[in-house]
Amino acid sequence: MKRSLFGTDGVRGTANTHPMTAEMALRIGAAAGRYFRKDKSVAHRVVIGKDTRLSGYMFESALTAGLTSTGMNVLLLGPVPTPAVGLLTKSMRADLGVMISASHNPAVDNGIKFFGPDGYKLSDEAEEEIEALVMGEVEPAQARNIGRAKRIDDGRFRYIERVKSSFPPGMRLDGIKVVVDCANGAAYKAAPEVLWELGAEVVAVGVSPDGFNINERCGSTQPKVAAETVVAHGADLGLCLDGDADRIVLIDETGAVADGDQLMGLLAARWAERDLLMGGALVATKMSNLGLERFLQARGIGLERTNVGDRYVVERMREGGFNLGGEQSGHIVMTDYATTGDGLLAGLQFLAELVTTGKRASELLRVFEPVPQMLKNVKFEKGQVPLQDDSVRAVIGEVEARLEGRGRLLIRESGTEPLIRVMAECDDAKMLEQAVEDVVTALERVL
């Protein structure tokens, strides 16, 4: 079946525009309820979390209506990070977890992500079956079997305690000043509380959500304000989360920003030294820098590459028995502690290294020299297929031949936005710029 509803991370789009309408959310909820409520003789439950977008109220209500109409009992967590939903789905013995969030996207967007009873995101196959049910007719429960909805008031606190338990026992953050940027999103309460409880001096930014300012000039995709705050306050470190707190970028004491590749490289090397790196490899996507690959190879550590999307990273980790993986964008997955990317948890792992080594953040966040990398996005309209155009394919072939042995080219359609992402890496900066420009020009000419 060709997927038209689900992308690389659930369903996503502009609120009140197909597919992110209240009507569609109700249908998705009913379809998911029907899919998971296979044994009608027992009670079934689903947990629902959300970030701070205004449209979250609408989608929470619509999903609840759809799910309860098929007999599912709904437990409403309110604003919590995405990893909290994965954790509590399993902890509360739920059949399904739902996170209402468009992650790092603007406030006008929203999305629906699903977690299975094991706390991991659903497979492509499960999403395809749910999509088929959405497009068909869903049998509602009999009147006496309609589900109930209940608010869970302590979901955030359960998550906070779980995250703190990943920090080395007895270790404290006394004397460390941390700037934490919560992107006016789902972790605006949880992240500062965790850091403060562990002893850090906390300077919090992006903690005043109003329904419209999530990811607006803040968070992991726009860390400028956080970097300036680190320098202004003389902080030791900055932690920048995104809207649903499943990704992070770090800022050292000089205000320099480090992406997920640097953090993954550091953790992989440290874990390997301590015989904690399962499978002897790190799992990352095709987007991770060639410099990371070279750094790991020099230390006898493997690099397993997957398609872009943290769910594909997790699938490969589970298949191969690996316990560390993630994305350059800041999704860091540590299956010893969580079932999905967790920005706050990853930040604590770095802070533990900071305390253990006594080094400055700037010394720990530049573990390898990145190969020059350039990424440009090209917008396209629904129905257009520029990557299938012969002239575009010819240019791509020419560029790949030019880069052979000196770099690499990666072109893909975004799974969450109507964009074609053109990324190249090359030690020669001029060759790199020309490679990306040639492909972008070819795409724009066709579009």
Active site residues: 103
Of 251, 178, 264, 261, the residue nearest 219 (C-alpha):
251
DSSP state of 140: P
Q: CB of 272 within 8 A of CB of 299?
A: yes
Judged on CB neighbours under 10 Å (0-12, 13-18, 19+), 206 is: buried
Would you state the structure tokens that stand for residue 400, as one six-digit string? 């790949």
Surface-to-core class of residue 61, CB atoms within 10 Å of its CB (0-12 exposed, 13-18 middle, 19+ buried): middle
Alpha helices in 298-387 (DSSP H): 310-320, 343-357, 361-364
In 234-340, alpha helices (H)? 260-273, 290-297, 310-320
Provide the 3-class DSSP secondary structure of residue 302: strand
132, 81 Cβ separation under 8 angstroms? no
Kindly report the number of other CB atoms within 10 A of residue 298's CB atom: 10
Cβ pair 253, 235 in contact under 8 A? yes
Element (H, E) at 398: helix 390-403
Both tokens of 420, joined, read 């074609």
